[in-house]
């Protein structure tokens, strides 16, 4: 009888302690017991990648972080949660899209660029911010998360001109169009304050009536003149050079120098300098104008790379939109295939709306082609002559992305050499990017266009077509020493340098 109160008390304590467990077992499942969705499984790797990056670039890239990083991060926990959520949504969308059947152009090339895959890649990209949407004119939208960035190298044939001449001399591959650059003059225009003058019109005369050359100075105030590429220039031993800007002009006569004995500048070639009186720099209070055009080979052989190129260009566009100085950027695009395909060229006119441009970019799919060369000549003609380039104070850049050379056997076709000359006349640089599988012939032609327009040749080294890695460019063919970097960073650094030239 004395033990009964003790037993009752013990039972009461056990009931009190066990009640929460009993209620949990009978009620809703806890978070640890909740079923895991299929979408969550597919995002494990993506979430891990998002947690290890804070600026949308691969942790493999050891280069200094781009300048936009401080402007896109908020509280650490909020940023991490935002990135994880964005990456999870992207991976789930991509997984759903990849399961859809391919139709139309998407069914070509083994379905590598199926419409479903392209749509999934487009949907996975977060909205692109418009410059000037937050404090300090800096967008706050997180940059796209590119988990597999394209790796690339660069060759500056104007910086190492002697090596380039040797490369051309050793070339023994297929036919290319001739353009003799062995005699080169760098025409540099300066103002009365010893500052370079961009967008000056430069004309070279053999005599006062014979116009031999016309060009527009690039952002560094320079343009290249190659008299041996102009048959009519062979009879002259001196040239009259005229520079015009803002209604003012300055002319000077230069003697032709024997190329073997010409004095060399730091980047090769004889420099002709014209010093125009007064200040000819535009007002720096205004944001610089930038026309940026992407010329993209969209034939079937590009199927393995189209999606990655779309992601890379979206990354590039975002990073450029938040560069210091907030440049006024207009984006344009030209895609091309070959004669007999569903289209030869397709253009998207310049726009300042980054989201509109991104939508067009993400609509591109690969198809057609057939043989190896493509209609690059016609695409260049459309790019240089049919697009509404800014004719005033601006930086004008074309980035060509392709894995094949142009057809040189078509009747009634344009010539890439003549289109390059027209690009110089309008002050447009052609940065040619060799994609996976580009042959030595394609590399040679791409380097021709880049060198004449005072640009560089870029080439994909890793991350392109998984079935055909490498680019066939200098990495494997010409033993050029280069530093491998993320392609998006290379392009953004090029743009940054071009804009910086305007203020130095």
> What does the pLDDT look like over 321-373, one tens digit per residue?
888 878 999 999 999 999 999 999 999 999 999 899 999 999 999 999 888 89
What pLDDT, on the 0 to 100 scale, is given for residue 182?
94
pLDDT exceeding 70 applies to what percent of the chain?
64
Length of the chain: 504
Pick the more confident residue, 68 or 442. Answer: 442
CB neighbourhood size of 367 (10 A):
21
Give the residue-averaged pLDDT of 132-158: 63
Residue 289: pLDDT band by 50, 70, 90 thresholds? Answer: very high
User: Would you say residue 457 has pLDDT above 70?
Assistant: yes
What pLDDT, on the 0 to 100 scale, is given for residue 469?
52
User: Which pairing describes strands 185-190 and 222-225: parallel, antiparallel, or unpaired?
Assistant: antiparallel
Distance CA 266, CA 164 (A): 15
Phi, psi of 305 (to 5 degrees): -120, -15
Edge to edge, the sheet with strand 270-275 lists: 222-225, 185-190, 270-275
User: Would you say residue 212 has pLDDT above 70?
Assistant: yes
Which tokens hold the place of 202? 């430069």
Residue 314: pLDDT band by 50, 70, 90 thresholds? Answer: confident
What pLDDT, on the 0 to 100 scale, is given for residue 477?
55
- Which DSSP state fits 385? I
- Range name among 274-283, 339-348, 442-451 with the lowest pLDDT average: 274-283
What pLDDT, on the 0 to 100 scale, is given for residue 115?
35
Collect all residues with Cβ–Cβ distance below 8 Å to 448 and sequence separation of at least 6. 176, 177, 179, 416, 417, 420
- Range name among 181-190, 240-249, 471-480 with the lowest pLDDT average: 471-480
Give the residue-averaged pLDDT of 482-491: 91
User: Would you say residue 274 has pLDDT above 90?
Assistant: yes
Residue 468: pLDDT band by 50, 70, 90 thresholds? Answer: low
What pLDDT, on the 0 to 100 scale, is given for residue 112?
33
Residue 498: pLDDT band by 50, 70, 90 thresholds? Answer: very high
What pLDDT, on the 0 to 100 scale, is given for residue 117?
35
Give the residue-averaged pLDDT of 277-283: 78
> Chain-wide mean pLDDT for the chain?
74
Residue 49: pLDDT band by 50, 70, 90 thresholds? Answer: very low
């Amino acid at each position: 009888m004395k033990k009964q109160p003790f037993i009752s008390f013990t039972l009461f304590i056990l009931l009190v302690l066990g009640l929460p467990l009993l209620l949990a077992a009978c009620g809703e499942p806890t978070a640890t017991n909740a079923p895991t969705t299929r979408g969550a499984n597919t995002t494990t790797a993506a979430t891990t990648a998002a947690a290890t990056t804070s600026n949308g670039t691969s942790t493999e890239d050891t280069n200094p972080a781009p300048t936009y990083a401080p402007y896109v991060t908020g509280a650490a926990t909020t940023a991490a949660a935002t990135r994880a959520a964005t990456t999870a949504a992207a991976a789930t969308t991509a997984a759903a899209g990849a399961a859809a059947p391919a139709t139309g152009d998407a069914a070509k090339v083994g379905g590598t660029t199926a419409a479903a895959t392209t749509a999934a890649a487009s949907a996975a990209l977060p909205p692109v911010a418009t410059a000037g949407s937050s404090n300090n004119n800096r967008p706050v939208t997180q940059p796209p998360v590119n988990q597999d960035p394209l790796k690339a190298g660069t060759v500056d044939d104007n910086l190492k001109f002697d090596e380039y001449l040797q490369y051309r001399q050793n070339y023994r591959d297929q036919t290319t169009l001739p353009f003799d650059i062995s005699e080169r003059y760098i025409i540099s225009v300066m103002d009365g304050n010893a500052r370079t003058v961009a967008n000056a019109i430069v004309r070279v005369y053999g005599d006062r009536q014979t116009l031999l050359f016309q060009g527009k100075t690039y952002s560094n105030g320079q343009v290249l003149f190659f008299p041996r590429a102009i048959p009519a220039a062979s009879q002259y031993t001196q040239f009259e050079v005229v520079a015009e800007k803002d209604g003012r002009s300055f002319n000077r006569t230069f003697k032709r120098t024997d190329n073997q004995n010409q004095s060399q500048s730091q980047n090769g070639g004889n420099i002709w300098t014209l010093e125009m009186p007064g200040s000819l720099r535009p007002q720096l209070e205004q944001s610089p104008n930038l026309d940026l055009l992407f010329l993209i080979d969209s034939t079937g052989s590009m199927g393995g790379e189209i999606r990655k190129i779309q992601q890379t260009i979206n990354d590039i566009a975002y990073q450029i939109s938040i560069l210091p100085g907030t440049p006024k950027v207009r984006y344009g695009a030209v895609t091309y295939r070959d004669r007999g395909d569903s289209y030869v060229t397709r253009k998207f006119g310049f726009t300042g709306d980054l989201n509109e441009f991104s939508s067009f970019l993400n609509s591109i799919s690969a198809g057609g082609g057939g043989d190896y060369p493509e209609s690059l000549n016609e695409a260049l003609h459309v790019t240089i002559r049919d697009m509404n380039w800014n004719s005033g104070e601006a930086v004008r850049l074309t980035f060509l992305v392709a894995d094949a050379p142009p057809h040189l056997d078509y009747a009634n076709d344009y010539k890439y050499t003549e289109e390059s000359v027209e690009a110089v006349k309008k002050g447009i640089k052609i940065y040619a990017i060799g994609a996976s599988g580009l042959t030595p012939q394609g590399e040679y032609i791409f380097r021709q266009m880049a060198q004449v327009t005072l640009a560089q040749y870029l080439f994909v080294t890793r991350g392109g077509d998984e079935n055909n890695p490498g680019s066939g460019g200098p990495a494997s063919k010409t033993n050029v020493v280069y530093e491998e970097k993320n392609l998006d960073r290379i392009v953004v650094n090029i743009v940054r340098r071009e804009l910086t030239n305007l203020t130095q």
